[in-house]
């Protein structure tokens, strides 16, 4: 299965003519694997540093001039997302919102949102962060005149995933759901990024939960349709689990994924936004991010891989290490936060200790407690 990323034949320079396209972001999920962080916050707008996650996908799509509209397929807390992004004018791209009446699965959501579309559609699952050459994927889709193109990414441990097998020309041949060791024939998994032709949407049942991975794509293989794969070896992560949510912050800090706010620095960098206050005598050991309005008092210590969100308060003698604090959280005097994620508006009392914990919004830890 050849890797085409960066190759001459399908480089981004091959998009010679302007042909309108749409993008569809499947952001209707409840984010159950990220609970309790997603009880009050849809997964698509959980903060990565100081930016809603969805902005990273939008930034990538904006690099493709052919995409003139991004459609957001919503179901869980849709108003929160629409109020945050509006019509997209401030982002420089037209946004449109489609709210599923009930959860329809990945394929059902594609049909419901794409019912009236005639242009090719770039589809993103709502939990994927990547730095793929998207223009090269589109070029391959057009050159092969494919009905569907799927992006694949290689993994080190194929036995832990459902695999997608393709032939030497990149034609998708079969899907293997967490195969036994003796059944493994490849190491490529579905990256959750597709280019689809709306002419195929008619085979998806209306108003019925249907999976793009388990039903729609296998139907293309069974019918011998032109269904091709693009193997990307660039950065890719599914942020849908708590471990991966923490990992993506560390990857950005380490420069493995180049993105704000660490686009120009990595490693030992400590980024303190304007408007944040770090008092003399506070110790900051990078990589660290401290958002605007945050306050770090004298004698506090912010250790590596920590994120202190907007308007957080870290008081005297408090220690934050390897942890992510969402906005408006207060860590009292001599408290310690280690390898944890705290949601919005949390309170950690004096001399309390929180280690390897995930706290939902407005959690309160009383003084001298140990978690």
| SS3 assignment for 117-183 | CCCCEEEEECCEEECCCHHHHHHHHHHCCCCEEEEEEECCCHHHCCEEEECCCCEEEEEECCCCHHH
Measured between alpha carbons, how far is residue 256 from residues 49, 149, 244 in Å?
Answer: 15, 26, 14
DSSP output for 260-329: TTSTT--TT-EEE-TT-EE-TT-EE-SSEEE-TT-EE-TT-EE-TTEEE-TT-EE-TT-EEES-EE-TT-
Q: What's the CA gap between 33 and 126, in Å, rounded?
A: 13
**Mean pLDDT, to the nearest integer, of 111-134?**
88
How far apart are alpha carbons 356 and 359 in whole angstroms?
10
CA 285 to chain centre: 27
Q: What is the CATH number of domain 12-242?
A: 3.90.550.10
Q: In what order do the strands lie in the sheet with 295-296?
A: 277-278, 295-296, 313-314, 330-331, 347-348, 364-365
- Beta strands at 47-48 and 51-52: parallel, antiparallel or unpaired: antiparallel
Residue 29 has pLDDT above 90, yes or no: no
Percent of the chain at pLDDT above 70?
94
Is pLDDT of 10 > 60? no
Secondary structure class of 95 (helix, strand, coil): strand
Q: What local confidence, expressed as pLDDT, does residue 303 receive?
A: 95
Query: What pLDDT was estimated at residue 8?
Result: 33
- C-alpha neighbours within 13 Å on the C-beta side of residue 263: 5
In this predicted structure, the answer to whether residue 9 has a pLDDT above a threshold of 60 is no
Rounded CA-CA distance 248/367 in Å is 31
What mean pLDDT is predicted for residues 229-246?
A: 91
What's the chain's Rg over C-alpha atoms? 22
Split at pLDDT 50, 70, 90, the class of 210 is confident
pLDDT in tens, 143-158: 999 999 999 999 888 7
The DSSP secondary-structure symbol of 335 reads: -
> Is residue 11 scored above 50 in pLDDT?
no
Structurally, at CATH architecture level, domain 267-365 sits in 3 Solenoid (2.160)
Q: Can you give the pLDDT at residue 268?
A: 63
* pLDDT class of 14 with cuts at 50, 70, 90: very low
> What's the pLDDT at 265?
57
Nearest to 21 by CA among 157, 97, 117: 117
> What pLDDT, on a 0 to 100 scale, did the predictor assign at position 206?
83
Listed by start position, the domains of the chain span 12-242, 267-365
pLDDT of 272 higher than 90: yes
| Of 51, 97, 43, the residue nearest 70 (C-alpha) | 97
Report how far apart, in Å, the C-alpha atoms of 120 and of each of 195, 220, 236 are: 7, 17, 23
Q: How far is residue 306's CA from residue 304's CA, in Å, rounded to a whole number?
A: 6
Cα 4 from chain centroid (whole Å): 23
Q: What is the pLDDT of residues 62-93, one digit of tens each?
A: 999 989 899 998 877 878 888 888 888 888 88
Residue by residue, DSSP assigns 221-276 as HHTT--EEEEE--S-EEETTSHHHHHHHHHHHHTTSS--TTSTT--TT-EEE-TT-
Residue entry with tokens 């309108």: 20
Q: pLDDT tens digit string along 334-353?
A: 999 999 999 999 999 999 99
Looking at residue 267, what is its pLDDT? Answer: 55
Mean pLDDT, the chain, whole residue set: 87
Of 40, 23, 121, which Cα lies nearest the Cα of 80?
A: 40
Would the pLDDT of 128 be above 80? yes
């Amino acid at each position: 299965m050849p890797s085409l990323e960066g190759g001459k034949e399908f480089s981004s320079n091959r998009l010679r003519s302007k042909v309108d396209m749409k993008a569809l972001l499947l952001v209707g999920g409840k984010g159950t694997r990220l609970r309790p962080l997603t009880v009050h916050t849809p997964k698509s707008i959980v903060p990565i540093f100081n930016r809603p996650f969805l902005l990273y996908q939008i930034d990538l799509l904006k690099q493709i001039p052919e995409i003139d509209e991004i459609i957001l397929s919503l179901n869980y807390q849709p108003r929160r997302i629409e109020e945050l992004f509006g019509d997209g004018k401030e982002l420089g791209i037209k946004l449109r919102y489609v709210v599923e009446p009930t959860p329809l699965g990945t394929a059902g959501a594609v049909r419901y949102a794409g019912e009236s579309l005639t242009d090719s559609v770039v589809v993103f699952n709502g939990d994927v962060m990547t730095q793929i050459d998207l223009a090269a994927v589109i070029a391959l889709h057009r050159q092969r005149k494919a009905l569907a193109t799927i992006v694949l990414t290689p993994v080190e441990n194929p036995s832990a995933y459902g695999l997608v097998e393709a032939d030497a020309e990149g034609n998708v041949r079969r899907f293997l759901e967490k195969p036994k060791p003796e059944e493994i024939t490849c190491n490529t998994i579905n990256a959750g990024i597709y280019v689809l032709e709306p002419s195929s949407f008619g085979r998806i049942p209306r108003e019925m939960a249907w999976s793009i991975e388990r039903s729609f794509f296998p139907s293309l293989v069974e019918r011998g349709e032109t269904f091709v794969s693009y193997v990307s070896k660039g950065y890719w992560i599914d942020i849908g689990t708590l471990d991966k949510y923490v990992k993506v912050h560390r990857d950005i800090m380490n420069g493995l994924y180049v993105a704000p706010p660490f686009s120009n620095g990595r490693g030992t960098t400590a980024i303190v936004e304007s408007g944040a206050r770090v008092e003399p005598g506070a110790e900051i050991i990078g990589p660290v991010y401290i958002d605007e309005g945050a306050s770090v008092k004298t004698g506090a210590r912010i250790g590596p891989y920590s994120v202190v969100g907007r308007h957080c308060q870290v008081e005297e003698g408090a220690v934050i290490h390897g942890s992510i604090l969402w906005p408006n959280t207060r860590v009292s005097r001599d408290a310690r936060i280690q390898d944890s994620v705290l949601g919005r508006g949390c309170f950690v009392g004096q001399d309390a200790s929180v280690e390897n914990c995930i706290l939902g919004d407005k959690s309160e830890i009383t003084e001298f407690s140990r978690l």
